[in-house]
């Protein structure tokens, strides 16, 4: 109760231009309004958003730390362009973090956590059925975030959140068709069953498979879209 109150207050006290600009830029990048590698003009952004350059610069620094932008001294900020190698790296790190989480949860997963995860899978399936690619991605990430959050390690969660931004960046690269809700459900129930069993080896196998599928999904998607666009 007092928490909801404080959150409400926090919502009020957010006239932070930096955060607003950061959110705006983040969405613009995620939905692909900028092309990868594109240079961002500080003055241009400042003019188009109706603010000064200072908030732009600070927001850009923030996004740089999240891996959405890269900066070159005296040249400005560019939207991060991922090559195949970086893509592999990102999914390898994701595997690293989620393996750790799974291993921890294998022998310390409360019934409530499992229930919450089951519910999230349902939400995810509904999102997939709705046809909105964006919502499906977000709910999928939310599931994995929930799993990692259950470990109780804030630093680990922060590491995942940072990585999640780059995962979203991966998604922008691909032009993908609809994914079957049933397949998604099965794919995630495999994880939950492994967790429920409490067997570390099975958990590891499950998460390895799950993330392997996700990686293949993205790299194949990137291949297709690259073939399609014929660029570079």
Size of the site for a copy of itself (CB under 8 A): 30
Nearest distance from C-beta of residue 68 to a copy of itself, angstroms:
12
**54 vs 96, beta carbon nearer DNA:** 54
How many helices (H) does the chain have, and how many strands (E)?
10, 3
**41 vs 134, beta carbon nearer DNA:** 41
Interacting residue with a copy of itself among 70, 96, 115, 123 (CB under 8 A)? 96
Decide: is 166 part of the binding site for a copy of itself (CB under 8 A): yes
- On whether the CB atoms of residues 83 and 223 are closer than 8 A, the answer is no
One DSSP character per residue, 97-151 reads HHHHHHHHHHT---HHHHHHHHHHHHHHHHHHHHT-HHHHHHHHHHHHHHHHHTT
* Residue 153 interaction partner, one of DNA, a copy of itself, none, beta carbon < 5-8 Å per kind: a copy of itself
Interacting residue with DNA among 22, 25, 29, 55 (CB under 7 A)? 55
Pairing between β-strand 69-72 and β-strand 39-40 as defined by DSSP bridges:
unpaired
- On whether the CB atoms of residues 63 and 136 are closer than 8 A, the answer is no
Chain residues that interact with DNA, rule: CB under 7 A: 13, 15-18, 39-44, 50-55, 57, 71, 73-77
């Amino acid at each position: 109760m007092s928490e909801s109150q404080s959150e409400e207050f926090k919502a009020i006290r957010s006239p932070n231009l930096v955060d607003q600009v950061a959110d705006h830029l983040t969405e613009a990048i995620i939905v692909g309004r900028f092309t990868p590698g594109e240079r961002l003009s500080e003055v241009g952004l400042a003019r188009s958003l109706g603010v000064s350059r200072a908030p732009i610069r600070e927001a850009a620094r923030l996004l740089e730390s999240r891996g959405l932008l890269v900066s070159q001294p005296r040249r400005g900020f560019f939207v991060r362009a991922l090559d195949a190698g970086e893509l592999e790296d990102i999914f390898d790190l994701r595997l690293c973090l989620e393996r750790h989480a799974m291993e921890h949860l294998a022998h310390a997963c409360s019934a409530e956590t499992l229930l919450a995860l089951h519910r999230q899978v349902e939400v995810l399936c509904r999102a997939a059925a709705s046809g909105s690619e964006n919502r499906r991605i977000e709910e999928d990430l939310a599931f994995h975030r929930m799993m990692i959050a259950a470990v109780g390690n804030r630093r680990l969660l922060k590491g995942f959140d940072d990585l999640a931004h780059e995962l979203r960046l991966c998604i922008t690269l691909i032009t993908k068709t609809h994914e079957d809700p049933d397949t998604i459900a099965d794919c995630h129930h495999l994880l939950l069953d492994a967790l429920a069993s409490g067997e570390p080896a099975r958990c590891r196998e499950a998460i390895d498979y799950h993330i392997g599928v996700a990686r293949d999904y993205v790299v194949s998607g990137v291949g297709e879209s690259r073939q399609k666009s014929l660029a570079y």
